[in-house]
Structure 1
Amino acid sequence: MQIVLATLLLFVSKVLFVAAALLPIMNPPGMVPVFLAQTARNTPEQRVYLSRRIAVFAFLLLLGSMYIGGFVLEIFGVSLPVVQISGGMLITLAAWRMLNDEPAEASPASGQLGEHISRDALKQKAFYPLAFPLTVGPGSVSVAITLGASFAHTGEGWMRYVLAPLAAMVAVALVSVFVYLCYRHGERLLALLGQTGAVVFMRLTAFILLCLGVQIMWDGARELLLPLLAAR
């Protein structure tokens, strides 16, 4: 009985450890204005579909990064700082578009635009840019790769090959469900701000996202430049 209880506590601690590492950097509630701005011209039904697809893609991206991300980067000879610079550029570009995009209400026909979007186009939009790099960005990918590397040194036998992977899968699933719930009900949260307040909040969020993209690029560039400067 004590062995079972100890195993359960260890499993729960691993789940909480992975979730606590991913949630702060992903910040699904903070990304709600970004999601709403990117889907301003989609119908409510399409937003529900996009929320569900984003959650699925987030689950696959995080789990893939955790267990094969480091291996894939090693095969192609790509370092984490390069991933940070490239992902930061994508985030910066998406944030810049959000800052310069006109609100959906500015167009008389904006309410009908989403009705003509195909399901394939929605799937593509759900993956890029909504799932990657806006929801699962270079920061969370880096954290997932690091977590995967740390699990490789977690105990021996079943603890390393069964308990740790299962705990990581459960944690990533919980994070993905939280992403879905935030995006699915995000419009209700911003409705409290009113139309003008929501637009202002979305613009501020886009600016913060722009700063975050630049910061991620700078972090990657710094990691690449520090060894060169230290060698002088």
Structure 2
Amino acid sequence: MEYLTALAKEMFLVPVTLLPIINPLSIASIFVSSVGTKHGLARMLARQIGMNVAWVIIASMLVGTYVLTIFGISLAVVRFGGGLLVAASAWRMLAARSDAAPTAHETEAAGIADDQLMQRSFYPLTFPLTTGPGVISACITLGAHGESMNPLHFLSGAIVAVGGALMVAVVIYLILRNSIVVVTRLGPAGAVVMQQLVAFVLLCIGIQLVWSGWQDLNG
């Protein structure tokens, strides 16, 4: 029972850590500017992005530490560098001017074909927009326990990675699927306020990662 409880805590730590970094509400405004008012296209594209995000998270958590070992990069350096990336991204969000985003009808007037938009589901909508370097470095940090050669440890890491990735993917799918309604109800002012709040939380997470990496390097 204690093992299952610890496993559940690690699994829930994945969405708690990654969702503020991903910031799906800020992505929603960009998503809406791409799909316009096409609810069917929004559902299909949101589902594809959710699946892509899940695979990126799983691969980063399970394989990331082995890649670091091959290149001789320590986890402390990943924490420090990833924290700098996350903090820099948050600072840009805080300092960005709140220029008005194109409306859905203006986006539809741009004439991007549906199949062309679906082809962009991985690049740039999944990477780097949704799962950028900061998210990947956080995934590697979360999956650090998976580098053990013990089969039980690797199985535990796989369960945590898959379960956590699926929770993140479901949240992103639900938000993006309903993004047209969400963005419309928030309005321009509400979207800016929400983005600034999330950006501040993201800045704190980045500073915490930098501090943890610095302590590990000097420990």
TM-score by length of 1: 0.67
1:127 maps onto 2:126 in alignment: yes
Asked if 1:179 is matched to 2:176, the reply is no
Residues 1:175 and 1:32: Cα distance change in structure 2 (over 3 Å): closer
- Structure 2: gaps (5+ residues): none
CA contact (8 A) 2:45 2:121 kept: yes
Q: What is the percent sequence identity of the aligned residues?
A: 12
Q: Secondary structure at the match of 2:171?
A: helix
Q: Which has the higher helix share?
A: 1
In structure 2, what is the Cα distance between the partners aligned to 1:95 and 1:54?
25
Cα offset, 1:69, TM superposition: 1.6
For the pair shown, which has the larger CA radius of gyration, 1 or 2?
A: 1
Q: Which residue of 1 aligns with 2:192?
A: 203
1:21 Cα deviation after fit: 0.3
Q: 1:175 to 1:53 in 2, by over 3 A?
A: same
Q: Is the 8 A contact 1:84 1:216 kept in 2?
A: yes
Distance 1:73 1:95, change over 3 A: farther
Structure 1, unmatched stretches of 5+, are 1-5
Specify the code of the residue in structure 2 equivalent to 1:102: A
TM-score between the two structures when normalised by the length of structure 2: 0.70
1:104 — aligned with what?
A: 102
Kept after mapping to 2: 8 A contact 1:51/1:180: yes
- Superimposed CA distance per residue, residues 160-204 of structure 1 (whole angstroms, 9 cap, x where no aligned partner): 34455245323422432232123212333455x3xxx42222101
Q: Give the count of matched residue pairs.
A: 209
Q: Distance in 1 between matches of 2:156 and 2:195?
A: 39
Whole-Å separation in 2 of the counterparts to 1:104 and 1:160: 48
Quote the RMSD (CA, aligned, Å): 3.8
Structure 2 residue 201 is matched with structure 1 residue 215: no
Query: 1:138 is matched with which residue?
Result: 134
- Give the aligned partner of residue 85 of structure 1: 84
- Whether the aligned pair in 2 keeps the contact of 1:57 and 1:131 (CA below 8 Å) is no
